[in-house]
Structure 1
């Protein structure tokens, strides 16, 4: 097996340990394994020629995410931002360790770490592609669930705000891909309202 496939397999093995489960197409998956598979699928649809570094970064985007629960941080904006920053670092460290073990050189590892941490979005082409893919996966698979979890109070306003913020992170090419997604009816209606 080559280094690339070995790296993907090891990322999948880590994500298979997720105790949280999610149902998709009548089958139960470890939550982060399913997310990583969706990231790879979306990336290859969006950018079939994506580099190995970008493909690995997409697959490892949420690696072992359950090990750092949101509840461990204050339920404030600052708490949320600290949680997100700690996650990025942890994802990069776990991925770097895997890449080192399978024999990648330091330059390759550094590039994947840079991408996993989504540095220089809007300035670095691959970081922007990764951000677009994250947003596409969110819109396609997680928008409905997210909406269901919000409290009724100002729910629609919050959803429209989230969609607009997601849209602002994306490139023009990402917007084009998002408008072609086959979204569930409720999600499609929200997106249309947010963008009108």
Structure 2
């Protein structure tokens, strides 16, 4: 079995490594520690899984592409709930970070769909880097969405026992109407995105299972 990477694969690996290192740093500088944990953790885990699966041998589009499309479709429905219920300002209050609704919409509602569309095209043509983006999405929305079920149990950084919305400057950025979803304060077990978090999780986790099982079968054979 050939173990060496082609030039194209090496370029894809370098690009993926740069993203894994740079994206969490940029998130930390612009928002705070939360993106480092969520984005950085998903990127690193996705990088490792992608390296041992799709990078060396891209799977056929019919195996990965439908599950990727279903994952991002579920993710977009999930994002609608997050936006309507105030996910970004709720996260700002929860972790004391300056996450505005404008930046939330820019990343997840505008830039995100462009990346998903190009990734779908890349998976169709079995481009290695597209596999990394797919793994990142499978790990993030596919697995990390379970954090929505934990957020209501975490005491917010800002006025945890005040049930009213809060407007404040965080690191020089004005964040208006930050809601409080702390369960001990509200008595309601909810956080923006909780109702639809399962939608991207089902196809995302299914994709992870299928890709890892396929690799395991190749090792056995």
TM tier, shorter chain?
A: 0.3 to 0.5
TM-score of the superposed pair, with normalisation by structure 2:
0.36
After TM superposition, the score normalised by the length of structure 1 is 0.39
> In terms of Rg, which structure is larger?
2
